[in-house]
Structure 1
Amino acid sequence: MPKLTVHPLTPERWPDFVRLFGERGVGGGCWCMGWRLPDRQQYLQQKGDSNREAMHALVRGGCVPGLLAYDGPEPIGWCAVAPREAYPALQRSPSRKAVDGERVWSITCVYVARSHRRQRLSTKLIEAAVAYVRSRGGHIVEGYPVPVKPGVTSTNYAFTGFVSAFEEAGFTECLRRSKTRPIMRFYTDRAHKRLKRSGARK
């Protein structure tokens, strides 16, 4: 496994983000804007360069939309993490709408360069996202992964991450509204988790 370093995406690291995502922006021009847009029509209209510029504008404006992972100087991974309200598309999704009224941070994308896959780097990225959320005072981190079906599940359709990687990072399923779309959570402190469980029993 490479010696991984992880850094927030800031303006000076933008060229590394572009280098990792390539000319098309991963996912046919998503540039990790899909969950941030209010409706699918707008997403389809701005796929490609418009999404790239929208993401660049966020970064230039001081928003940290996620974390970049490096193997030495080479950018090799990405994890999008932000407060859930930054992703209006989550609330539009029947299977991913809010579980409760808790303030939640959401992981919406976990991407590893093809050259570095099958090395547990997705788990490391998720763990780094949890550490980042904890450093920002967050208590709940949520993920929306897909289960692995060997020979069936393509990485092209698993941009939200795999269940196994989230489990390895310590997440547990808290709700499932469809067979293939669990909602998983990690509590950054035990006290908050105990309070949540106590409230659920009332």
Structure 2
Amino acid sequence: MTDWATHPVTAERVDDFADVINPHRRESHCWCLSHRLRVKEIGELGDGSRESAARALAAGETSFGVVTYRDSVPVGWCHIAPREDITRLAASALIRPIDDLAVWSIICVVVRGGHRRQGVTEHLIEGAVAYAASQGAPAVETYPVDPPGRMDLTMAFVGTRSMFERRGFTVVGETDAVASKLPRLVMRRVLP
């Protein structure tokens, strides 16, 4: 029987997060900060490196995401945080809030290479939603992309409509952002 667990990224778990998104610890590789921080903010969080900034975020009061483990091996990452804490999303002229609800937002989902198509996203999204609920979030939003044809999943992605519909999210609007010539959706799951 497989043992699944999802935990917020903390200072103690930041290496597990890195094992999922950047196993070779390349500085130029993604540290899931492009929507979270502006370049100036990355510099303010440490020595200017993305890794230092990610470690500083992980040491904060509220995590910037969760890691899912299968049999104690980190296999998935989900960037989830209060929308207002995601600097570039909060300032976006293309993905504006649809109302005044203080939602948490999922902006990135990563399944570690060698573990894709094995049910990780189901546990990852449910774990992310549970973490947001434990922190008092009234709802979780996401902004998926449904391009025609095959999506390149070699790196991180924002997810697809069907991926989130299977997890109880419903379409509540559209953004002005465009992906593959289609407007991106706003999907939401209201929490009890």
TM over 0.5: yes
Partners of 1:17 and 1:32 in 2: CA distance? 10
Deviation at 1:94, TM superposition (A): 3.8
Q: Paired residue for 1:185?
A: 188
Show CA shifts across 1:135-183 (max 9, x none): 11111100011115333x2114762122211111000111113424111
1:17 aligns with 2:17: yes
Secondary structure class of the residue paired with 1:181: strand
Mapping of 1:155-194 within 5 angstroms?
155-156=153-154, 159-177=157-175, 178=178, 179-189=182-192
Higher helix share: 1
Would you say how many aligned residue pairs link Structure 1 and Structure 2?
A: 183
- Structure 1 residues 63 and 106, CA gap change in structure 2 (3 angstroms): same
Change (3 A) 1:25 1:9: farther
| Letter aligned with residue 170 of structure 1 | G
> Which residues in structure 2 correspond to 1:1-202 (within 5 Å)?
2-21=2-21, 22-24=23-25, 29-38=29-38, 42=40, 50-147=49-146, 149-151=148-150, 153-156=151-154, 159-177=157-175, 178=178, 179-189=182-192
C-alpha distance in 2 between matches for 1:168 and 1:64: 25
CA displacement 1:58-81 (0-9 Å, x = unmatched): 222343111111111211101111
- Structure with greater Cα Rg: 1
Q: Which moved more, 1:50-59 or 1:173-182?
A: 173-182
Query: Counting strand residues as a fraction of each chain, which structure ranks higher?
Result: 2
- After the TM superposition, which segments of 4 or more aligned residues of structure 1 sit over 3 Å from their partners? 41-46, 91-95
Q: Which runs of 5+ in 2 are unaligned?
A: none
User: What is the CA RMSD across the aligned residues, in angstroms?
Assistant: 2.6
Letter matched to residue 4 of structure 1: W
Which secondary structure does the structure 2 equivalent of 1:155 belong to?
coil
Task: Give the % identical residues.
Answer: 38
Are the counterparts in 2 of residues 14 and 56 from structure 1 also a CA contact under 8 Å?
Answer: yes
Residue identity opposite 2:112 in structure 1: A
Partner residue in 2 for 1:193: none
